[in-house]
Amino acid sequence: MTLVSAPAEEELRGQALAEIRRILGEQRAAASASAGVELSQALVADIHLDSMELLTLAVGLENRFRVKLNEADSAGIVTVGDLVDLVVRRALAAAAAERSAP
Amino acid sequence: MAPSSPPAIAAVGRALPPHRVEQETLIEAFRALWARQHFNLERLEDLHRAVRVGGRNLALPLDQYPALDTFQKRNDAWIRAARDLGAEAMKRALEAARLPLDSVDHLFFVTVTGIATPSTDALLVNALGLREDLKRTPIFGLGCVGGASGIARAADYLRAFPDQVAVLLSVELCSLTLQREDLSIPNIIASGLFGDGAAAVVLEGGDRRPARARFPRVRATRAVFYRDTERIMGWDVVDTGFKVVLSARVPVLVRERIRGDVDAFLAAQGLDRSRIKHWVAHTGGPKVLRAFEEALELPERALERSHRSLEETGNLSSASVLFVLGELMDEEGEPPREGDLGVLLAMGPGFCSELVLLEW
């Protein structure tokens, strides 16, 4: 049984991608470049993020969605889509935990 | 007439401010600040632990920092503390060199953490009673490379005036540049890494002979500039003071460039890396030190003094490499021997390197 409806999940995915584009735009000071960031692009191979930029991106997403992305998570993250999936999973889990809290 | 010997490094004096604060205490103090913007505070704590700094000696007691809420207040505090700590380092260096204060002909002053006019070297003429004909060269903006560059520039000067004494003084009070409102990742890393300290190096021209039994001479120096790397490290000077620019490219650039630069520098002297017994590297951070070790294929423990200095005091910007040099020169267990060669090296904003070949 899913606790969140599909449209809500889709909305979260859209918000996560928008936030990634916003953070990358701030970092690169070139909003036009970040606006074109797509789910299929690899964070390092295609967008050429360095370790400081990746860290800033992770922290920005944590702040916006009130989730924690730990070191172990990073192993499976290659593309923007992978990162969006992770953020959505964590945000949904956090929302579910909040609802089940006494 | 026989040519003069290369300039000699007679002594290094080091001074740390008295307010020692352990890294975990600093992390605790930063938590409330970070929580204003950040959700995952454990991640930020880990960043402060990852820089391998055990603690810092701060220019002021920890509880006095929150009141320094403007650039003017921080810089005013910097001017006072820089004068006092600089005076201490200089006195210790000259005492170790067994030279009186009035023997100094030229004072090179290096910093990147505060500004003053008259500059700190001028304040020291009054504070220490230095000579009225002292030549002064204040140098601002070299950042972490300033200690190495300062030795090189002082040595350049002494090649022209081989009967004179020059002092290089570096004072860096990084804690007084902290931008409390800047909660960016580079600033959080910088606030975990950089510390406060001062170091003075006494150099004597080649016609003089330093008092101590064993000392290095500055055999050669080389500056290397890396074009179009201006945003790798530096300050953005903003209304609130100095906002750090720090890129993850620093260790990458070390890996890409330092080996070729060192090899070319040594080859110009008819040497190669196998001849270098002592490596005096700027304590940029754990990643930078690892990059030095790997790129230069250094033996295990070659940079042990740099690692230890980083752990004990944090990165002291331009003063760091001078602290490491001081440790080496004062080594009692296995001190450098006559004929030993050493390379002192640092990198800093520009981006650039400065290499100094030392011969004992």
In a domain, B210, yes or no: no
Binary contact (B185, A67; C-beta < 8 A): no
Q: Sign of the C-alpha dihedral, residues B77, B83, B88, B93?
A: positive
Please state whether beta strands B241-246 and B106-111 pair in parallel, antiparallel, or not at all (unpaired): unpaired
Report the chain B residue with the minimal C-alpha distance to residue A28. B231
Read off the pLDDT band of A31 (50, 70, 90): very low
Query: Does the N-terminal peptide bond of residue B351 adopt cis geometry, omega within 30 degrees of 0?
Result: yes
CA distance A19 to chain B (A): 15
Host domain of residue A93: 6-100
Binary contact (A56, B185; C-beta < 8 A): yes
Helix and strand numbers (H, E) in chain A are 4, 0
What percent of chain A shows pLDDT beyond 90?
A: 49
pLDDT at residue A34 is higher than 80: no
Bigger pLDDT: B9 or B186? B9
What does the H/E/C string look like for chain B? CCCCCCCEEEEEEEECCCEEEEHHHHHHHHHHHHHCCCCCHHHHHHHHHHCCCCEEEECCCHHHCCCCCCHHHHHHHHHHHHHHHHHHHHHHHHHHCCCCHHHCCEEEEEECCCCCCCCHHHHHHHHHCCCCCCEEEEEECCHHHHHHHHHHHHHHHHHHCCCCEEEEEEEEEHHHHCCCCCCCHHHHHHHHHECEEEEEEEEECCCCCCCCCCCCEEEEEEEEECCCCCCCEEEEEECCEEEEEECCHHHHHHHHHHHHHHHHHHHHCCCCHHHCCEEEECCCCHHHHHHHHHHCCCCCCCCHHHHHHHHHHCECHHHHHHHHHHHHHCCCCCCCCCCCEEEEEEEECCCEEEEEEEEC
In a domain, B209, yes or no: no
pLDDT at residue B82 is higher than 90: yes
- What are the chain A neighbours of B42 within 8 Å (beta carbons)? 68
DSSP 8-class letter at A74: G
Do B349 and B236 share a structural domain? yes
Question: What domain count does chain A have?
Answer: 1
Q: Which two tokens stand for residue B353?
A: 């390197």
In a domain, B287, yes or no: yes
Burial of B132 (0-12, 13-18, 19+ CB in 10 A): exposed
B interface residues, A as partner, C-beta within 8 Å? 37-40, 42-44, 47, 184-186, 189, 246-249, 252
Read off the pLDDT band of A35 (50, 70, 90): low
pLDDT at residue A2, as a whole number: 47
Report the chain A residue with the minimal C-alpha distance to residue B35. A63
User: What is the distance between the alpha carbons of residues B69 and B85, in angstroms, rounded to a whole number?
Assistant: 23
Report the chain B residue with the minimal C-alpha distance to residue A52. B248
| Predicted TM-score (pTM) of this structure | 0.92
pLDDT at residue B328 is higher than 60: yes
**Catalytic pick from B144, B166, B288, B357?**
B144
Count CB neighbours of B133 within 10 A. 6
In a domain, B1, yes or no: no
In a domain, A1, yes or no: no
Do B180 and B250 share a structural domain? no
CA atoms within 13 A on the CB side of B134: 25
Binary contact (A51, B185; C-beta < 8 A): no
**Residue keyed to tokens 């120096």:** B221
Do B200 and B71 share a structural domain? yes
Do B272 and B194 share a structural domain? no
Read off the pLDDT band of A33 (50, 70, 90): low
Binary contact (A52, B40; C-beta < 8 A): no
Burial of B315 (0-12, 13-18, 19+ CB in 10 A): buried
Question: What domain count does chain B have?
Answer: 2
For A40-64, the pLDDT digits (tens) are: 999 999 998 988 889 999 999 999 9
CATH of the domain at B335: 3.40.47.10
What percent of chain B shows pLDDT beyond 70?
A: 100
CATH of the domain at A53: 1.10.1200.10
Do B253 and B130 share a structural domain? no
Read off the pLDDT band of A4 (50, 70, 90): low
User: What is the distance between the alpha carbons of residues B324 and B303, in angstroms, rounded to a whole number?
Assistant: 9
Count CB neighbours of A26 within 10 A. 14
Host domain of residue B176: 8-204
In a domain, B236, yes or no: yes
Report the chain A residue with the minimal C-alpha distance to residue B245. A52
| Chain B interface mutation, best of A52, A54, A63, A90, highest count of B Cβ atoms under 10 Å | A52
Least confident of A3-12, A35-44, B264-273: A3-12
Query: ipTM for the complex?
Result: 0.81
Q: Is A102 helix (H, G, I), strand (E, B) or coil?
A: coil
CA distance A67 to chain B (A): 8
Binary contact (A50, B246; C-beta < 8 A): no
For B220-275, the pLDDT digits (tens) are: 999 999 999 999 999 999 999 999 999 988 988 999 999 999 999 999 999 999 99
Do B184 and B307 share a structural domain? no
Q: What is the mean pLDDT of residues B85-96?
A: 98
Q: Pick from A55, A63, A70: which is nearest to B39 by CB?
A: A63
Binary contact (A59, B43; C-beta < 8 A): yes
Q: Pick from B39, B40, B248: which is nearest to A52 by CB?
A: B248
Contact B112, B235 (CB under 8 A): yes
Determine whether B144 is an active site residue: yes
